[in-house]
């Protein structure tokens, strides 16, 4: 898959603020295909090295940060599973993605990273290089619900992320009955705004009127803090 590079901004919302913004968006911006009935489920398995570079790069305020994660949305045998490299320089985000299988996830959990090379995918080869060179291993599982609104114009995507939870039972990442614990209070909703090039003024006005609190941490860092 091609590398995606775009602006990414994150904010904390109260349920009241989220409700008002959602009502505004519903009359102006289409929901994405997965949000037609409301929110949908996301599970991510994050990796880190012995120095916890992915965690501390964010907390220490480094301009450029990199995270590796496996992401899935359901637990069927035909579920789409992605292995991603997410790199962020200040507010500019790039993401490289490759598809893997449930069998691949099982091998990766067992430390068999050689399966990444067998697919001959550039992104998976890059992940293999970093994992073998820097000794990356699974760190934490993060679950949440997402509701998304999208526009083709400048590839705009506005999301509401709620019910953020975590687990360290890494071996059960493919288990829908995995036990998780809350990461944030239910009153905290994360608003993410992503776009290419620039954000239109009319849409900025539509989101305006609130004293937004910037969300300085990533979901991964929040999960590691708890």
Helix (H) or strand (E) holding 8: strand 4-13
Q: Are 49 and 139 in contact (CB under 8 A)?
A: no
Chain segment 97-113, per-residue pLDDT in tens: 999 999 999 999 999 99
Q: Does the pLDDT value for residue 2 go beyond 90?
A: no
Here the CATH number for the domain that contains residue 175 is 3.20.100.30
Domain count, the chain: 1
* DSSP per-residue codes, 27-91: TTSPBPGGGTTS-EEEEEEEEE-TT-HHHHHHHTT-SEEEEEEEEES--STT--EEEEEEEEETT
For residue 90, give both structure tokens. Answer: 């200040």
Residue with the bigger pLDDT between 62 and 185: it is 185
Burial group, residue 95, by CB count within 10 angstroms (0-12, 13-18, 19+): buried
Q: Does the pLDDT value for residue 131 go beyond 60?
A: yes
**57: confidence class by pLDDT, cuts 50, 70, 90:** confident
Task: Please give the average per-residue pLDDT across 70-74, as a whole number.
Answer: 96
Rounded to two decimals, the pTM is: 0.92
Q: Does the pLDDT value for residue 124 go beyond 60?
A: yes
Helix (H) or strand (E) holding 102: helix 102-109
**58: confidence class by pLDDT, cuts 50, 70, 90:** low
Backbone angles phi, psi at 173, to 5 degrees: -60, -30
For residue 118, the model assigns a pLDDT of: 92
Mean pLDDT of the chain: 91
Query: Domain span at residue 21?
Result: 4-225
**37: confidence class by pLDDT, cuts 50, 70, 90:** confident
Task: Please give the average per-residue pLDDT across 135-139, as a whole number.
Answer: 97
Backbone angles phi, psi at 215, to 5 degrees: -95, 100
Q: Does the pLDDT value for residue 15 go beyond 70?
A: yes
Chain segment 176-221, per-residue pLDDT in tens: 999 999 998 777 899 999 999 889 999 999 998 888 888 878 899 9
Instruction: Give the N- to C-terminal CA distance of the chain in Å, as an integer.
Output: 33
Q: Are 186 and 18 in contact (CB under 8 A)?
A: no
For residue 184, the model assigns a pLDDT of: 86
Burial group, residue 18, by CB count within 10 angstroms (0-12, 13-18, 19+): buried
* Residues near 55 by beta carbon (within 8 Å), at least 6 away in sequence: 48, 139, 220, 221, 224
Alpha-carbon gap, residue 70 to 90, rounded angstroms: 23
Q: Does the pLDDT value for residue 173 go beyond 80?
A: yes
For residue 1, the model assigns a pLDDT of: 58
Q: Does the pLDDT value for residue 4 go beyond 80?
A: no
Alpha-carbon gap, residue 157 to 30, rounded angstroms: 10
For residue 186, the model assigns a pLDDT of: 73
């Amino acid at each position: 898959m091609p590398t995606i590079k775009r602006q990414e901004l994150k904010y904390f919302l109260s349920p009241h603020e989220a409700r008002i913004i959602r009502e505004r968006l519903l009359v102006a911006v289409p929901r994405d295909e997965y949000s037609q009935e409301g929110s949908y489920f996301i599970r991510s398995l994050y990796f880190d090295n012995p120095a916890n570079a992915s965690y501390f790069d964010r907390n220490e305020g480094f301009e450029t940060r990199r995270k590796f994660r496996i992401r899935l949305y359901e637990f069927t045998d035909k579920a789409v599973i992605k292995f991603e490299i997410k790199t962020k320089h200040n507010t500019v985000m790039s993401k490289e993605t490759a598809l893997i299988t449930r069998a691949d996830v099982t091998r990766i959990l067992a430390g068999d990273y050689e399966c990444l090379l067998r697919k001959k995918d550039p992104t998976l080869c890059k992940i293999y290089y970093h994992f073998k060179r820097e000794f990356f291993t699974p760190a934490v599982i993060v679950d949440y619900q997402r509701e998304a609104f999208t526009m083709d114009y400048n590839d705009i995507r506005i999301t509401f992320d709620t019910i953020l939870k975590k687990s360290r039972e890494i071996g059960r990442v493919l288990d829908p009955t995995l036990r998780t614990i809350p990461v944030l209070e239910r009153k905290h909703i994360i608003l993410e705004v992503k776009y290419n090039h620039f954000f239109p003024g009319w849409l900025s006005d539509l989101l305006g009127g609130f004293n937004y609190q910037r969300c300085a941490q990533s979901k991964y860092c929040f999960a590691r803090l708890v």
